[in-house]
Structure 1
Amino acid sequence: MRLEQADPKRLVAESYRIEGITDGECRSIFIDWALSLPVGVDARQAIKRLLAEYRGTAPDHPMTAVLRAGLHKAPQARRRGGARGRRI
């Protein structure tokens, strides 16, 4: 995957250029990035491409941590207990 496909609006690239960016700001940019991916682009593959590009030069950057977290699978949804969970 080319870098242009992984970050079409250059949102992630720009986040690495912002001095003093916080974790929260990086998470917000990540959501914007994910929502702007073109249809058909695999987000996991795009994240891997972005990490390959930036983790070597900015291993301690907050966006690197956010991208790594983006590779983890979300926990599986479970039914909540109690009477409310048993009602139809």
Structure 2
Amino acid sequence: MIEGVNGTNSAVSIDVGNGAEPEQNRGGNSVVPLLAGPACVSSAIFVWGMPFFYGRNVYAAVEQQSTPGGAGPYIAY
């Protein structure tokens, strides 16, 4: 589940791959197509990874700037 800033919840489906695979098979200098997981700063924050955003429109709001979606900063899809 993902929760918007307005409190609305939505089910989200995402595939997550093996983060150790590039190190084992590609020498560690490669893109991991299905890399996602908890952020290292807090397990309460989830890093979706780039593949989650493929095919979606992504919007970024600049800090302290007014937008129809509220004041920035934020990233939305």
State if a TM-score over 0.5 links the two structures.
no
* Larger RCO (CA under 8 A, 6+ residues apart): 1
Larger proportion of helix: 1
User: Which band: TM-score by shorter chain?
Assistant: under 0.3
TM-score calculated relative to the size of structure 1: 0.23
Say which one has the larger Rg. Answer: 1
